[in-house]
Amino acid sequence: MLIILCGLIVLMILGAFVALEAASLLSSAVLLGIIGFSLTAIFLILQAPDLAIVQIVVETLSLVIFITAILKTTSEDATVRARARVPFLVIAGVFVVLFMLAMYWALGSMPPFGQPSLRMAGPYLTPEALPRTTGAANFVTAVVLDFRGYDTLGEAAVLFTAVMGVLAVLRKIGRKH
């Protein structure tokens, strides 16, 4: 599983570099989509389906907005490209190596996968204390609605905002031709 995660992270980093250097804006938008969908796969591997659902919806809607905007304007990058590519690549390479070393150090100090790193929630989520603490009989409902209520509200707000953004970009009524 760690090899798959590392492969997806490397794919995301390479996709970001290629998206920065691509001359076609449409290619850059597709590469950004690959980065986002790789993050969705990482969330699924790490058993976080709620985050994966939000990520795939937002990523799909963002990709539709980007492609629509690019097709309605120009598909080529009109900015002036600097000739200092080698220093940029060296600095980026050093950053990636330092980042991977920091991640190796940080992930090496974590407990094994599936083992809790914080034991603060244990007393609150026992079968005896759960109905008394939250009033809910279901563990998932207790965590999502009581302990993570603001997080769930934020995820719903992100989904709503993304849908409203797509509707605003793709609307037909009120456009001046």
Kindly report, residue by residue over 112-154, the tens digit of the pLDDT. Answer: 776 666 666 666 667 777 677 777 667 776 777 676 778 878 8
8 Å CB contact between 64 and 166: yes
DSSP one-letter string for 142-154: IIIIIISHHHHHH
Residue 55 and residue 43 in contact, taking contact as beta carbons nearer than 8 Å:
yes
Query: How many Å apart are CA 44 and CA 42, to the nearest integer?
Result: 5
**Predicted pLDDT of residue 39:** 92
| Cα gap 163→168, rounded to integer Å | 9
Q: Give the global pTM.
A: 0.54
Please report, for the chain, the start and end positions of each structural domain, with discontinuous segments joined by +.
1-77, 121-177
Instruction: Look at the block and give the residue holding tokens 């094994």.
Output: 112
Parts of the chain with a pLDDT under 50: 80
Q: C-alpha distances in angstroms, 101 versus 20, 48, 95, 98?
A: 23, 25, 10, 5
